[in-house]
Amino acid sequence: MRRHALLISILLIGGFIAAPLFAAGKEEEVKKLQAAELVIKQSVSAPDKGIPRDLLEKAECVGVFPDVKKAAFIVGGEWGRGVFTCRQKDGTFGAPAFFTMGGPSVGWQFGGEETDLILLVMNQEGVKKLLQDKVNIGGEASAAAGPVGRTAQAGTDLQLHAQILSWSRSRGLFAGASLEGMVMKPNNNGTEDFYGRKLEAKSILVDQSVAAPEGAKSFLKTVNQAAKRS
């Protein structure tokens, strides 16, 4: 009996310790979604200087990496954190999965001390590359700096055929960003913190095996408004 009571006590104590840790982890990911939502809103609020609406409408997945510090790309092994959402069968964007991005390029820098990144995955081949254990942008996945403006009519051939288009936002201004050489991969720890269990990015983004938690709904509403297909 004593051994049984001791086991119950250990389990209860473990639960009390784990609950705050899980809550703290989830809170961090919710804040990331809130920051990503703000970036999306700003990307379409100034149509002459933002991301073209027609590209948002064509995109299969939308990724946002908010508040990435410049040092994260200057020093190898450090990463920026972000989130991706992909279209469901009905054309709307579904539950998000978290990702990290970094790069070995010492000379690659942003225009400011920190920046926001937006990535649009433009076709199904790009979606497949996104779901690999890690993907080298510009290597396994063809990429190009995205055009800025009301529409993408002035886009180059490279932009029109790229699997991933990317933009950076520094000091309030959007510009096409070449992320060639950057490495991107699923942030399994962040996703587990948010959902409370281990999930693969594929099961969330493509298989649509889980519903979007409450903490993601405002972000998804904004993405769906910005990238709604007519």
- How many angstroms separate the CA atoms of 167 and 169, rounded? 7
Is 216 within a domain?
Answer: yes
- How many angstroms separate the CA atoms of 39 and 172, rounded? 10
- How many angstroms separate the CA atoms of 27 and 23, rounded? 6
- For residue 67, the SS3 value is strand
Is 10 within a domain?
Answer: no
Mean pLDDT of 40-59: 86
R_g of the chain, CA atoms, integer Å: 19
Q: How confident is the model at residue 78 (pLDDT cuts 50, 70, 90)?
A: very low
Q: How confident is the model at residue 40 (pLDDT cuts 50, 70, 90)?
A: very high
Specify whether the CB–CB gap between 50 and 120 falls below 8 A: no
pLDDT at 3: 52
Percent of the chain with pLDDT over 70: 74
pLDDT at 49: 79
Please count the residues of the chain: 230
Is 36 within a domain?
Answer: yes
Is 115 within a domain?
Answer: yes
Q: 0.85 exceeded by the pTM?
A: no
- pLDDT tops 70 at residue 97: yes
- For residue 211, the SS3 value is coil
* Number of domains composing the chain: 1
Minimum mean pLDDT range among 105-109, 115-119, 124-128, 170-174: 105-109
- How many angstroms separate the CA atoms of 102 and 165, rounded? 17
Which of 226, 7, 220, 221 minimizes the C-alpha distance to 95? Answer: 220
pLDDT at 22: 39
At 198, the amino acid letter reads K
- Which structural domain range is residue 88 located in? 30-226
Q: How confident is the model at residue 12 (pLDDT cuts 50, 70, 90)?
A: very low
Determine how many CB atoms are found less than 10 A away from the CB of residue 143.
29
Is 151 within a domain?
Answer: yes
Is 3 within a domain?
Answer: no
Is 14 within a domain?
Answer: no
